[in-house]
Structure formats: C-alpha cells, structure tokens
C-alpha cells in the first residue's frame, strides 16, 4: 500500500469512527449504512470532488447528493474532514437546533437538496446535470451516492432512462451495494451483475468494483470522468457496518448505534483528525442571469372565450422572454397544458420529461438547485404521482412553479381518471406553498407573473375549457387577494368561488338577484394564502359563506376559507358545494350539474339556506 493509499484508508476509517461517535452520542441514526460507503466517500472527497466549501454557490462547484440520506453521519463526517464543520458541531447531530439533522437538509449550506425519502437523489441529480450540460456548459460533475434498497423505486428508473437518453456524462451514480436493506436482504443482494445489466440497458456506462478497494474506487472515478457520451454508474460491492465485526454484514443492525462505542472505535483504529484539502473548482461556468425585463403578458378582451390553460402557456412564453432564468418542463402533455407555447419561443429552455411525473418534478428541483426558475406542467390529476417529490421540495426550500391543467369535472367526457379533484388538498397541505386558481385568461396570465415572484412551491390550477374573459386587461391580482364580483348593502349571503365555478356563481347571483335576493360573489383566486380581510368582511355583512368548487370536499376551497376564521373570532355559517360523486363521462355542463356545483345548484342551496336560516 502506498502512503497515498494509506492516507485514504485512514480517512475512510476516520469517517467510520466519526459516524460511530455521532450516532452513539445521539443515541440514534445509521452508522452501519455510513460505514459501507465510507471508502467510497473518502476517495471521492480526497481525490475527485471539486468544491469550495467557503463558496457553496460557486457555479463551478461539483454537486454531491447523498441520496441515501439516512447515511447522514457519513456526510457530516466528510464535512468535518473537509474542515467545513467542527468536531464539536458533529456532536450536536440529531439534537434540537442543530444543522446536522437526522437526514440532510439545506439548513447546511453545502446540502443542495434534502434527502431521506429514498429514490430522490438520482432523479434530482439528473436535473442538476441536465441544467449543467444543456444550459450552462458547466464542467462540474454531479455525484450521487445511492443505496441499493432504493433502486427498487421506480423514480430511480425514470432517472436512469432520462439521464441515459440525454447522455448526461457529467452525472455519476455511486451505488453502495451493501446487500442489506432495513428489514433484511435486498432483492439482488450482492448480485452486482443484476444491477449492471439493468442500468446498462438504459444506456449508462457501468463499472463494478469492490467498494472497499481504494485503488479500484479511485480508478472507477477516473473512468467515470473519462466517459464523455453517457452517464456512469459505479456499482460498489460493500459491507454494511464494515470495520466492526459485531455489526458487519449482519441483519438487524440497520439504524442502530454501535452496541459498544468504545470497542467499535478501537476496532476502527481510534479517533483521528485528518483534514482533506478538497480541490476547488478551476473554471466558473455561466450561471443563469436572473432577468428583470418587463414582462409583456398576453392580453385578452372581455367576453372573449379563452381557456386559462391557454393563458398560462402564452404568459409563460412571455415570462420566458423577459426572464432568461425561466425554464419549462413538460410531462409529454405540453399540447394539453399549453406549456408548448413556451417551447415554440424558447426551445433551448424547454425540457421534455415524457410521462414520468416524478422525474418531471425532480428535474425541476435539480434545475432550481443551479439557479433556474422552473415551471413544471402536466395534468393536475397526474401531479399526484409527484406528491412525495413536491413534499420533499419544501424540505429542500426549493423555488418551484407547477401548473396543473384539466382541473375538475369540468373537463367533460374523459372521465375521472383525468380529472384533478384532489390537487388543491395536496398543494394546500405543502409547507409554505402558494395555491392559485384563476377563472379567466387575464387573471391566469397575471398570476403566472405573480407566481414567479413568490418563493417555495407555487401551484397554478388551470382549466381545460374556454370560459369568457371577465376581467379587464389592466386588472391586477396580487397573491393573497380576491375579487368582489357582485355586492350590495343587502347581500343575504356570500358565494365564494374560484376557477370554473366563478362563472357558475355569477349566473346564480344574477338569477337570485332577479328573484330579489341579492348575494355577494367573491372570486377567491388565491386559495393559499386566502384574502382573510375580504372573507371576514363578507362574513360580517352576510353571515354565511357558500363555497362552491370543482374539487373534492376535503382540503379545497371550502376548507381554505376557514383559514380566515381560525383564531377564535366568530365564524360565519357555512354551505359547501363540492364534488362528492364519482363522475363518469358527460359534457362539461352535464358534469357540473351532476356534481351539484353549477349555477342551479348554487341558487338552490342559497334559497334553501335563506328559507331555513336566513
């Protein structure tokens, strides 16, 4: 063994020791999952990673994503070896207020995305690499360290397909194949050929190595960097708990500190304090240039019939012209969501992700990591496929715009499989999300520009059908606002609607007004946050809120209005119209009627309430 190899061996042992110490002190965590990958990490850190820990946003930095997030002690031990954190901070692992959480999050400046939900690191890494290669001509590499259990996740295969097809040579997947999952052996255990066969079939270069042979690991990383026409997967045969006989390669040792810390540390050769001078990036690549150009939004004439999805597409294309950091991603339905309008004007910033919604959102997250402002679009219904990626995007504090088209029963004949009926509930429950639901084209266009200014996960719900434009071209729609569309001093109740039901509510209000029953109509286009002031005023004046929505009862508009009344103040009476049937096929009008959310249903509900209570 050369002295260089000796150094790497010592470094690997140090990472193990520090993982053992951190988890023992915390009384929980995953030392054995860290120990299997310690040699892979040591060689990467000392020889191949280019990273400036003092400048995490350096555009030339490599990216390192620990997809097996439970092996966080290994990552933190590596940060310590690189001098980024102290041994003292390492000792705060998993305690209240520490940046060293059980699974890595961007509370640490060197962590780009949170991991811990398995199977997300590679899909996101593909997005980071795609942005680097297609948008920035970056020379930096993307290293993703995954476990073997998580290779069962379909999202990983979406990523293998995507990265292979896009020939993302800057992406290297390091597969820590330690044979043991949480509950027991994985499907393929140490059958590295099984993995290699599958991954190679997706047009990746594959390398099989002994994950504890430092020279072999080093050679594999070099080989990966030399392959210029495809991504590389390094399949490393490793031992879970490597280095401590009491736990090595044994079932039942997942997610548990060492049985005897002192003994384990001694067996690993004791505590060390090696420091690694991680190579800094040489070249800077071109970062996205956040634009401040004036957005020339499309404008629509009042009365014109335009689908909000069309306005979304046209506004997105306009936004892209003003803001060069905007990118659009499609789930192979761009002709339906109208994201295609962006594609026509900005083909270089349009990314076809095919029918793989997890990869769609993951790619968007990856691009956000590199400073781009992504808009991902598919049918609202199919965004449920990406729920876990959206959830984790909030843990990653990533800025991400999403549009879901074909909202609700109003899509008509296609039937329930294509109807977004649970999307508002899903997006409202996401941490610090913004949820917008326009009813006309001018509003939709304005909201596209508004959402670009927000942070976190932002959702725009669009409709398939063409409804008349009701707002003038210069009307403004701030996030958190609403529009009062019908009102008088004698209003008997308030109809709160959004999207397609705004038009139904207006019809119902006009019908009731003719009967001498004035009702107020609020367009609650900002579903989260809601316009608390307007709702409270409506409640005080009319005493009753009748919500009507093309969505399931739970989690949507009807629940959203309560956000304005949850502080102990008096709550107005509530009537809720929402979809509680299982729709079939029918025309849009028939669907609204059958679901009981059309003008007639609104008027009927209002009359019944006023006869009984009002």
Q: Whole-angstrom Cα distance, residue 173 to residue 68?
A: 12
Residue closer to its own copies by CB (options 166, 504) is 166
Give whichever of 151 and 311 is closer to its own copies, judged by the CB atom: 151
Q: How far is the CB of 246 from its own copies (least distance, A)?
A: 20
Kindly state the smallest distance separating residue 171's Cβ from its own copies, in Å. 17
Max intra-chain CA distance, the chain? 94
CB 119 to its own copies: min, Å: 7
C-alpha–C-alpha distance, residues 403 and 401, integer Å:
7
Q: Are 587 and 547 in contact (CB under 8 A)?
A: no
Helix axis angle for 72-81 and 3-26, nearest 10°, is 130
Q: Which is closer to its own copies, CB of 15 or CB of 111? A: 111
**Minimal distance, residue 2 CB to its own copies, in Å:** 38
Q: Which is nearer to its own copies, 403 or 442 (CB)?
A: 403
CB closer to its own copies, 502 vs 527: 527
Pairwise CA distance, residues 185 & 605, whole Å: 58
Pick 503 or 576: Cβ nearer its own copies: 576
Neighbours of 201 (CB within 10 A): 12
Specify the residue, 478 or 584, whose C-beta has the smaller distance to its own copies: 584
**Alpha carbon distance 438, 470 (integer Å):** 11
Pair 181, 39: CB distance under 8 Å: no
Q: Give catalytic residues, as residue numbers.
A: 357
Q: Select 267 or 550, whichever has its Cβ closest to its own copies.
A: 550
Alpha-carbon distance of 319 to 298, in angstroms, equals 10
Least separation, in Å, of the C-beta of 69 and its own copies?
6
Q: Are strands 434-436 and 400-405 parallel, antiparallel or unpaired?
A: unpaired
Minimum CB separation from its own copies for residue 526, in Å?
A: 14
Give the per-residue SS3 of 371-407.
CCEEEEEEECHHHHHHHHHHHHHHHCCCCEEEEEECE
Tokens coding 395:
């843990």
Contact call for residues 368 and 362 (beta carbons, < 8 A): no
Cα(502)–Cα(508) distance, integer angstroms: 10
Per DSSP bridges, beta strands 400-405 and 494-497 are: unpaired
Counting every residue, how long is the chain?
614
520 and 486 Cβ atoms separated by less than 8 Å: yes
Task: Find the shortest distance in angstroms from Cβ 55 to its own copies.
Answer: 25
Q: How far apart are CA 482 and CA 464, in angstroms?
A: 22
Angle at 410 between CA 598 and CA 535, to 5 degrees: 55
| CA 228/CA 425 separation, integer angstroms | 44
C-beta closer to its own copies: residue 156 or 264: 156
Nearer to its own copies, 187 or 275 (CB): 187
Q: Which of 522, 493, 482 is nearest to 604 (CA)?
A: 493
What residues contact residue 230 under an 8 Å CB cut-off, 6+ apart? 164, 167, 168, 169, 203, 204, 205
Q: What contacts 70, CB < 8 A, 6 or more positions away?
A: 29, 30, 33, 102, 103, 116, 255
Q: In whole angstroms, give the CA distance from residue 384 to residue 423.
A: 7
Whether the ω angle into residue 69 lies within 30 degrees of 0, i.e. cis, is no
CB 137 to its own copies: min, Å: 24
Q: CA of 51: how far to CAs of 60, 82, 117, 191, in Å?
A: 8, 10, 25, 33
Nearest distance from C-beta of residue 105 to its own copies, angstroms? 7
Rounded distance, CA 362 to CA 341, Å?
22
């Amino acid at each position: 063994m050369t002295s260089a190899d000796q150094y790497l061996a010592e470094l690997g042992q140090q990472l193990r020791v520090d993982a053992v110490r951190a988890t023992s002190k915390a009384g929980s965590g995953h030392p054995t999952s860290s120990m299997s990958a310690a040699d892979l990490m040591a060689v990467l850190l000392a020889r191949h990673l280019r990273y400036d820990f003092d400048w995490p946003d350096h555009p030339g930095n490599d990216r390192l994503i620990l997809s097996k997030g439970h092996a966080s002690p290994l990552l933190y031990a590596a940060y310590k070896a690189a001098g980024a954190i102290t041994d003292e901070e390492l000792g705060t692992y998993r305690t209240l207020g520490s940046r060293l959480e059980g699974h890595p999050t961007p509370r640490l400046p060197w962590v780009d995305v949170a991991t811990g939900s398995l199977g997300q690191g590679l899909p996101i890494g593909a997005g980071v690499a795609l942005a680097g290669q297609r948008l920035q001509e970056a020379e930096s590499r993307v290293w993703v360290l995954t476990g073997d259990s998580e290779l069962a996740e379909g999202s990983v295969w979406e990523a293998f397909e995507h990265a292979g097809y896009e020939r993302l040579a800057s992406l290297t997947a390091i597969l820590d194949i330690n044979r043991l999952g949480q509950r027991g052996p994985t499907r393929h255990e140490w059958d590295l050929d099984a993995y290699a066969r599958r991954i190679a079939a997706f047009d990746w270069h594959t390398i099989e190595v002994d994950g504890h042979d430092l020279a072999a690991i080093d050679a594999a990383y070099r080989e990966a960097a030399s392959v210029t026409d495809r991504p590389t997967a390094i399949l490393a045969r490793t031992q879970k708990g490597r280095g401590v006989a009491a736990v090595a390669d044994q079932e039942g040792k997942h997610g548990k500190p060492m049985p005897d810390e002192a003994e384990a540390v001694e067996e690993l050769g004791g505590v060390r304090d090696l420091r690694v001078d991680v190579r800094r990036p040489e070249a800077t690549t071109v970062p996205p240039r956040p634009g401040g150009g004036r957005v020339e939004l499309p404008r629509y004439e009042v009365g014109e019939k335009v689908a909000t999805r069309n306005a979304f597409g046209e506004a997105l294309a306009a936004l892209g012209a003003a803001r060069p950091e905007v990118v659009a991603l499609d789930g192979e339905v761009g002709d339906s969501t109208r994201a295609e309008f962006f594609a026509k004007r900005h083909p270089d910033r349009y990314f076809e992700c095919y029918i793989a919604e997890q990869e769609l959102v993951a790619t968007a997250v990856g691009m956000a990591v590199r400073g781009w402002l992504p808009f991902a679009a598919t049918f609202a219904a199919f965004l449920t496929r990406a729920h876990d990626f959206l959830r984790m995007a909030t843990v990653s504090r990533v800025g991400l715009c999403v549009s879901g088209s074909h909202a609700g029963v109003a899509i008509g004949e296609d039937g329930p499989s294509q109807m977004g009926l649970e999307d508002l509930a899903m997006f409202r429950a996401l941490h610090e999300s913004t949820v917008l639901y326009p009813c006309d084209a001018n509003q939709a266009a304005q909201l596209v520009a508004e959402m670009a200014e927000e942070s976190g996960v932002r959702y725009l719900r669009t409709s398939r059908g063409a409804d008349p434009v009701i707002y003038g071209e210069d009307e403004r729609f701030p996030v958190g606002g609403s529009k009062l569309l019908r009102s008088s001093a004698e209003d008997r109740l308030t109809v709160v609607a959004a999207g397609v039901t705004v038009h139904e509510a207006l019809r119902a209000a006009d019908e009731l007004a003719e009967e001498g029953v004035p009702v107020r109509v609020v367009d609650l286009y900002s579903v989260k946050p809601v316009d608390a002031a307007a709702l409270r005023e409506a409640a005080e004046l009319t005493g009753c809120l009748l919500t009507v929505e093309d969505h399931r009862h739970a989690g949507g508009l009807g629940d959203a209005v309560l956000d304005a009344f949850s502080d102990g103040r008096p709550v107005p009476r509530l009537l809720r119209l929402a979809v509680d049937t299982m729709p079939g096929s029918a025309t849009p009008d028939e669907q609204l009627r059958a679901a009981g959310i059309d003008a007639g249903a609104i008027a009927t509900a209002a009359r019944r309430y006023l006869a009984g209570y009002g």
